[in-house]
């Protein structure tokens, strides 16, 4: 269970991010994100922050409808706490909006780092998700 957010149109990356696609994925070192090669066609847009040639933080679409995309965010442990996650989420949201869709972000109550990303980007709370077991 946790909060769900809409990413506002004002969210812009504060660092340089890149789009990863089937066409350019070979240009990047995916150490820690090896699974992305198999999923790249299904998680577009996919935005990364790259250090040298290594992708260190990635935000991609993990749930897609005709009206909205939900963010899936991962940052490699040694690169956390540097603002990379907020940059890739903002870059991803810009690309989702270009598609005419609404960018959404959700997290769990326990994931304090993810909630910090939401605060940093001033995301708008629209609801809470819950799981029935």
Written as six digits, the tokens of 16 are 């340089």
Domain 12-102, CATH class in plain words: alpha beta
DSSP 8-state secondary structure symbol assigned to residue 22: T
Cα 23 from Cα 29, distance rounded (Å): 14
Nearest to 83 by CA among 22, 34, 15: 15
Structure pTM?
Answer: 0.95
Cα 94 from Cα 92, distance rounded (Å): 5
Nearest to 58 by CA among 41, 71, 42: 71
Written as six digits, the tokens of 54 are 């290594």
- Domain-by-domain residue ranges, the chain? 12-102
Is the pLDDT at 39 greater than 90? The verdict is yes
Segment (H or E) for 85: helix 84-98
Contact call for residues 124 and 5 (beta carbons, < 8 A)? yes
41-91 pLDDT per residue, tens: 999 999 999 999 999 999 999 999 999 999 999 999 999 999 999 999 999
């Amino acid at each position: 269970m946790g909060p769900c957010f809409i990413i506002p149109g004002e969210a812009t990356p504060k660092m340089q991010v890149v789009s990863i696609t089937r066409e350019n994925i070979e240009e990047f070192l995916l150490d820690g994100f090896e699974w992305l090669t198999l999923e790249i066609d299904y998680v577009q847009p996919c935005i990364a922050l790259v250090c040298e040639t290594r992708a260190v933080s990635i935000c991609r679409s993990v749930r897609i409808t005709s009206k909205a995309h939900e963010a899936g965010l991962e940052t490699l442990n040694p690169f956390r706490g540097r603002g990379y996650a907020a940059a890739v989420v903002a870059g991803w949201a810009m690309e989702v909006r270009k598609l005419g869709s609404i960018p959404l972000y959700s997290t769990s109550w326990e994931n304090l780092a993810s909630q910090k990303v939401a605060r940093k980007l001033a995301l708008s709370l629209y609801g809470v998700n819950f799981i029935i077991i």
